[in-house]
Chain A
Amino acid sequence: MAGAFERKIHETLADTRLQQAVYTATGRLKDSRLAVIAPHVLPDYQELRAHAHLLKRHTVDHLDHYLEKFQRNVESRGGQVVFCNDGAEVTDFVLALAKKRGARLIVKSKSMTTEEVDLNEHLEHHGLESVETDLGEYILQLAHERPYHIVAPALHKTRYDVAEILTRRLNAPHETKIEKQTAIARAVLRQKFLAADIGISGANFLVADSGAVVLVENEGNARLATTLPKIHIVVAGIEKVIPRAQDLAVFLKLLARSATGQLLSVYTSFLSGPRRAGEIDGPDEFYVLLLDNGRTKLLPDSAKRQSLYCIRCGACLNACPVYRKIGGHSFPWVYSGPIGAILTPQFMGVSREPSLPFASSLCGACAEVCPVKIDIPRVLVELRADVHQSEARQKRNRLEKLAFRLFRWLMQHPRAYEWAGRLAASLANSADGGWMRRVPVLLNVGPVRAWLSQRDLPPPPSRSFRQLWRQR
Chain B
Amino acid sequence: MSPNAILDAVRAALGRSEKEPAPDPPPVRLRIPDVSLESRIASMTTSVEALAGRVLRAPTPQHAGRLVRERIANQNAVASNSPYLDECGIRGLPNVHSGITKPDELQKLCAAADVGITGVDYALADTGTLVVLSSPYEARMISLLPPAHLAVMACSRLLTGLDELFTLLPDPAVASSSMVFITGPSRTADIEQILVRGVHGPGEIVIILVG
Contact = CB atoms under 8 A, between A and B. Distances in A.
B190 A264 contact: no
Interface in A238-261: 238, 243-250, 252-253, 260
A36 to B, nearest CB: 10
B9 A182 contact: no
A63 B13 CA distance: 10
The listed residue with most B CB atoms (<10 A of its CB), out of A194, A263, A274, is: A263
Contacts of A153: 190
A299 interface: yes
Interface of A: 21, 24-25, 28, 44, 48, 51, 54-55, 58-59, 61-68, 71, 73, 77, 81-85, 89, 92-93, 133-136, 139, 152-155, 157-159, 162, 178-179, 181-182, 185-186, 189-190, 193-194, 207, 209-212, 218-221, 223-224, 227-228, 238, 243-250, 252-253, 260, 262-276, 278-282, 290, 292, 296-297, 299-300
A62 B24 CA distance: 10
11 contacts: A63-B14, A64-B10, A152-B193, A159-B191, A178-B194, A219-B199, A223-B200, A228-B141, A268-B180, A270-B179, A299-B14
Nearest to A283: B177
Interface of B: 1-3, 5-7, 9-11, 13-14, 16, 20-23, 25-26, 28-31, 47, 51, 81, 100-103, 106-107, 111, 126-129, 134-136, 139-141, 144-145, 162-163, 165-167, 169-173, 176-194, 196, 198-202
B1 A89 contact: yes
A300 B13 CA distance: 5
Contacts of B11: 64
A243 B25 contact: yes
Given A135-B190, A178-B194, 5 more contacts: A54-B26, A155-B193, A238-B6, A243-B25, A245-B171
A66 B22 contact: yes
A272 B199 contact: no
B176 A28 contact: no
Nearest to A239: B10
Contacts of A158: 192
Contacts of A262: 183
Nearest to B110: A281
Residue from B20, B101, B162 having most chain A Cβ neighbours under 10 A:
B162
A395 B194 CA distance: 49
B177 A210 contact: no
A148 to B, nearest CB: 11
Nearest to A61: B14
B191 A263 contact: no
Contacts of B106: 280-281
A245 B173 contact: yes
B191 A157 contact: yes
B200 A154 contact: no
Contacts of B22: 58, 62, 65-66
Contact of B111 (A93, A186, A194): A194
Which of B127, B162, B171, B188 has the most CB atoms of chain A within a 10 A radius of its CB?
Answer: B188
A122 to B, nearest CB: 16
Nearest to B81: A280
Contacts of B126: 263
Contacts of B169: 245
Nearest to A74: B173
B28 A263 contact: no
Nearest to B198: A186
Nearest to A269: B180
Contact of A264 (B183, B186, B193): B183
Given A135-B199, A281-B103, A227 B25 contact: no
A178 B173 contact: no
Nearest to A297: B13
Nearest to B50: A263
B188 A135 contact: yes
